[in-house]
Amino acid sequence: MVMYWVALLAISILIYLLLDGFDLGVGMLFGVAGSEAKRDAMLSTVAPVWDGNETWLIVTGVIMWGSFPVVYAMVMSALYIPVVVMLLGLILRGVAFEFRGKALRSRWVWDVSFVAGSFAASFMQGAMVGALVEGLQFSNGDYTGGTLGWLTAFSALCGIGLCFGYSLLGACWLVRKSDGPVRDAARRQIPPLAIGVLVFLVVVFAYALAEHLPILKRWTDRPYLLVFPAIGAGAAAMLAKSILVHDDYWPFHMVALIFVAAFATLALSFWPYMIPFVVTIDEAAAPHASLAFMFWGAGLFAFPLMLLYVAVGYRVFRGKTAPVADHH
Amino acid sequence: MDPTALLLSRLQFAFTISFHIIFSAFTIGLAAWLTVLEAMHQSTGKPVYRTLFAFWLKIFGVAFGMGVVSGVVMAFQFGTNWSVLSKMSGPIQGPLLSYETFTAFMLEAGFFGILIFGRSRVPPWLYLFSTAMVALGTTLSAFWIMVNNSWMQVPTGYVLQNGQFVPDDWAQIIFNRVVWVRFPHMLLASYLTGAFCVAATGAWYLLRRTYRAEAHVMLRMGLALAAVLLPVQLFIGHLVGDYVHDYQPAKFAAIEARWHDEQPASEVLIAIPDSSTESNKYAISIPVLGSIIGSMSLTSKEVGLTSFAPQDRPPVAIPFFAFRIMVGCGFVMLGLAWLGSWLGLTHRLDRSRLLLWGIFLSFPLPWIAILTGWYTAEVGRQPWTIYGVLRTADAVTPFLTASAAMASLILFVAVYAFIFSFGTYYIYRLLRAGPAGLGGRPRHVPVPNRPMSLADQVPAARSYLEAGE
């Protein structure tokens, strides 16, 4: 039962990363789009799906609270500032999506809040993962690191890294879903973004070595984990090739595969801890009565239906988005 | 625990959830109203129902979007500000909220697209079914929230193990009597919100002498529904009072501003409660009525606040006044609904401009009633978060600093004020423009999963209006 909910939590986080990742990425790239027509075209590629994507964050939150209340309580309270800023960023970009179409003179306000909200949410998500990897201070289950304890050079680096990662995913999404100048611009953005991600990974690895981060030991203990970075490297090679041959379809899938590999590497190097070296999965698990109650309804029936809905939703909107006429 | 951080956390929770309930209650009411309109249209074939459906669907879209974004915050705020509560009650509250997310979102997400874009793509019965499923989704969401909150009001079906509330009887948690009076109370409050907004819009159009056909339908249906539901709501409200009387005597005494045990007890109609002297100033009370309301008896002894240790008493002024405002709103709405329905039946409503003004201006009343009702319930529960078991002061994140809590509260207030003023302005613009005012510049091709894009959906809405009949 515990393993079932660990799996569902991991799947939900991964779905969230991939889905909201590309639309947050499009949100950040939106800032450098040259013209109103391009911005409209970019928005129309994510418009049908973005708030469905975002609900996976809530799914993640409630699974965590119901199945692993100790971790939910410890992580959310320790990461107070980044969680709040992330939520505000998501709200601002969510409504900006809708309001910019209604605003007349104040459209720039919503354009700014769309870009800024996307950046804030992405950076904070990366920084939170970074803070967990580096290790937050807890004693007796209470966080003792202080209000800004999560903010270190390493976590900031991870925040920037995730901005690059999401932007890369977003650019690949645009290549896949759009045509004309929007696609061409996105394709030109992919190499620098990919290099940015690569540099980030190298720096993170170097930092982890230099600082002797305890999580590094997991990788030397468990060499088989290296299969995931290897998959990531293979996907990166395929990405480079598909960019060179101007393929529209594969870059997104290759970057998604890189994300899956990175997520698997991280998740398995945490194992069996949920908060590294502080709380294990079994210590965090809710009582059996809670897990079983969730399993026999929400887990067994509703969750597969939710997956089905996502699949159907993306199937309905498959293919390139119709080009948006420039009426400005 | 920092007392300032505690106060700020409470303010933040109250602020964010108050905003959320405004839009959620409206959405629940409107979803039901849309279902009724679609059913009426399909059974009578009258075009006016179709026009109204298209009009209110746009407003529903904006309100739904606002409800969604303000709801995301709620899923995380338990953990950020109330870490002790989330750790202790996670095994019960977490699964309940999971069910809310999994069941309500399923239905809403699955059928919302059809509701907006599927009119021409699905057979009429399926369209009606989809509308009903969205309404069911919003209702289920309310149900799970009420189960959750009722458990905090009257915790049951659990054992305390290793500092956690471990569920040992889910049926007791979900199907206990408290849930089944509070859930209908909230549901009817939402329906009344929808009914009064619809009726007020109708009154507004009649006052402006525009959209007469639509205005009549809105007034007639809104007022009739309110006229029927309000007495039921008052009765259920009385049952809610009974549970408070039985399970939360300190809250009941605070609502009644009853400081000392009385037998038989009088009912304080209005007063200024003063906790420093443990008495009421300028009180107007009716003898014996307190016993009748509390226990349906002429002789019963009713408990006063001084029977509880000072640290176990809730604040008195907020529950006392909030309750009276809620009940007052209820009676004003009852008067308007009954008078309006009667004049409507005798075809005199059009000429009763004073009453039309009253109905038009009454649109905030259901929201005021909902908010004050919740303030009565939540402030009256103090000093407990989980009644009788976990104090609010012990539930807050112990290491939260006042500066962090202040920063987040200021940010929430600023961002919410900003976006919600635009959102409500946008709804106002739609309402002012009216059913034929589907105009405006079409900007995006409307797409599902984008609630608020609905309001842009000009060409589609207009074309099916023309082609529909």
- Tell me the average pLDDT of chain A: 86
Please state which of the ranges B11-20, B73-82, B403-412, B446-455 shows the lowest mean pLDDT: B446-455
- If contacts are CB pairs under 8 Å, which of residues 251-290 in chain A contact chain B? 286-287, 289-290
* Distance from C-alpha of B194 to C-alpha of B183, rounded to nearest angstrom: 17
pLDDT at B1: 67
Q: pLDDT-based confidence at B460, cuts 50/70/90?
A: very low
* Distance from C-alpha of B49 to C-alpha of A123, rounded to nearest angstrom: 48
In chain A, which residue's Cα lies nearest the Cα of B418? A92
Q: In chain A, what residues touch B385 (CB-CB under 8 Å)?
A: none
The first and second tokens of residue B357, run together, are 């003004």
pLDDT at A15: 92
Residue B134, chain A, CB below 8 Å: the answer is no
pLDDT at A301: 87
Mean pLDDT over B118-140 rounds to 86
| A142/B75 Cβ within 8 A | no
Contact A19, A63 (CB under 8 A): no
In chain B, which residue's Cα lies nearest the Cα of A49? B449
* Residue in B6, B16, B99, B102 to test binding to A, most A beta-carbons within 10 Å: B102
Mean pLDDT over A288-308 rounds to 88
Residue B319 half-sphere exposure, CB side, CA atoms within 13 Å? 25
Q: In chain A, what residues touch B419 (CB-CB under 8 Å)?
A: 91-92, 95, 99
Residue A63, chain B, CB below 8 Å: the answer is yes
* Residue in B73, B76, B108 to test binding to A, most A beta-carbons within 10 Å: B76
Q: pLDDT-based confidence at A323, cuts 50/70/90?
A: low
Residue A94, chain B, CB below 8 Å: the answer is yes
pLDDT at A31: 87
Amino acid code (one letter) for A157: L
SS3 B400: coil
Asked if pLDDT for residue A132 goes beyond 80, the answer is yes
Asked if pLDDT for residue B445 goes beyond 50, the answer is no
Q: pLDDT-based confidence at B430, cuts 50/70/90?
A: confident
Residue B400, chain A, CB below 8 Å: the answer is yes
Mean pLDDT over B428-456 rounds to 58
SS3 A139: strand
Asked if pLDDT for residue A68 goes beyond 90, the answer is yes
Query: Which residues lie closer than 8 Å to B109 by C-beta, 6 or more apart?
Result: A52, A55, A306, A309, B449
* Distance from C-alpha of A277 to C-alpha of A261, rounded to nearest angstrom: 22
Please indicate, yes or no, whether the overall pTM of this predicted structure exceeds 0.80: yes
* Distance from C-alpha of A52 to C-alpha of A56, rounded to nearest angstrom: 7
Q: What is the DSSP string of B228-281?
A: HHHHHHHHHHHHHHHHHHHH-HHHHHHHHT--S-BSSPPEEEEEEEETTTTEEE
pLDDT at B451: 46
pLDDT at B118: 67
Mean pLDDT over B324-329 rounds to 94
For residue B69, give the nearest of A311, A202, A117, A169 by alpha carbon: A117
Mean pLDDT over B380-398 rounds to 92
Residue B449, chain A, CB below 8 Å: the answer is yes
Asked if pLDDT for residue B469 goes beyond 50, the answer is no
**Residue B400 C-alpha, separation from nearest chain A C-alpha, in angstroms:** 8
> Does the bond joining B446 to the residue before it have cis omega, within 30 degrees of 0?
no
* Distance from C-alpha of A11 to C-alpha of A7, rounded to nearest angstrom: 6
Contact B170, B179 (CB under 8 A): no
pLDDT digits (tens, 9 = 90+) for A199-245: 998 888 888 778 777 777 777 787 887 888 889 889 989 988 888 88
| A142/B97 Cβ within 8 A | no
* Residue in A16, A93, A95 to test binding to B, most B beta-carbons within 10 Å: A95
Q: In chain A, what residues touch B66 (CB-CB under 8 Å)?
A: 95
pLDDT at B130: 86
- Tell me the average pLDDT of chain B: 86
CA angle, A174 as apex, A171 and A175 as ends, to 5°? 90
Contact A219, A226 (CB under 8 A): yes
Q: Beta strands A279-280 and A273-275: pairing type?
A: antiparallel
* Distance from C-alpha of B318 to C-alpha of B372, rounded to nearest angstrom: 9
Q: What is the DSSP string of A167-180?
A: HHHHHHHHHHH--H
| A309/B444 Cβ within 8 A | no
In percent, the amount of chain B with pLDDT more than 90 equals: 52
Cα distances from B438 to residues A95, B34, B63, B65, in angstroms, run: 21, 17, 17, 19
Helical residues (DSSP H) of chain A, grouped into ranges: 2-29, 36-46, 50-67, 69-78, 80-99, 107-134, 153-177, 180-211, 214-221, 227-244, 250-270, 281-284, 288-294, 303-316
Please state which of the ranges A311-315, B134-138, B377-381 shows the lowest mean pLDDT: A311-315
Q: In chain A, what residues touch B403 (CB-CB under 8 Å)?
A: 147
Give residue for tokens 């908060």: A275
Strand partners, B161: B164
Q: pLDDT-based confidence at B458, cuts 50/70/90?
A: very low
> In this predicted model, which residue has the larger pLDDT, B63 or B448?
B63
> Does the bond joining B264 to the residue before it have cis omega, within 30 degrees of 0?
yes
pLDDT at B437: 63
The first and second tokens of residue A160, run together, are 């920037």
pLDDT at A181: 87
| A309/B397 Cβ within 8 A | no
pLDDT at B194: 93
Q: In chain B, what residues touch A48 (CB-CB under 8 Å)?
A: 447-450
Asked if pLDDT for residue A104 goes beyond 80, the answer is no
**Residue A306 C-alpha, separation from nearest chain B C-alpha, in angstroms:** 6
- Cβ pairs bridging A and B (under 8 Å): 232
- If contacts are CB pairs under 8 Å, which of residues 122-181 in chain A contact chain B? 141-144, 147
In chain A, which residue's Cα lies nearest the Cα of B110? A309
pLDDT digits (tens, 9 = 90+) for B92-121: 999 999 999 988 877 787 777 778 766 777
The first and second tokens of residue B40, run together, are 């009426």
Q: pLDDT-based confidence at B462, cuts 50/70/90?
A: very low
Q: pLDDT-based confidence at B336, cuts 50/70/90?
A: very high
For residue B138, give the nearest of B112, B119, B177 by alpha carbon: B112
* Distance from C-alpha of A286 to C-alpha of A288, rounded to nearest angstrom: 6
Residue A215, chain B, CB below 8 Å: the answer is no
Residue B118, chain A, CB below 8 Å: the answer is no
pLDDT at A21: 92
Query: Which residues lie closer than 8 Å to B59 by C-beta, 6 or more apart?
Result: B30, B427, B430, B431
| B447/A313 Cβ within 8 A | no
Asked if pLDDT for residue B441 goes beyond 50, the answer is no
Which among B106, B444, B452 is the nearest to A44, CB-wise? B444
> In this predicted model, which residue has the larger pLDDT, A208 or B356?
B356
Q: In chain A, what residues touch B450 (CB-CB under 8 Å)?
A: 47-48, 50-51, 97-98
**Residue A264 C-alpha, separation from nearest chain B C-alpha, in angstroms:** 25
Mean pLDDT over A145-164 rounds to 90
Which of A100-105's residues contact partners 24+ apart within 8 Å by CB, and which partners?
A101/B443, A101/B444, A101/B453, A101/B456, A102/B426, A102/B455, A102/B456
pLDDT at B70: 86
Contact B322, B376 (CB under 8 A): yes
Asked if pLDDT for residue B454 goes beyond 60, the answer is no
For residue B93, give the nearest of B21, B159, B25, B167 by alpha carbon: B167
| A90/B95 Cβ within 8 A | no
DSSP structural state of residue B166:
E
Contact B291, B198 (CB under 8 A): no
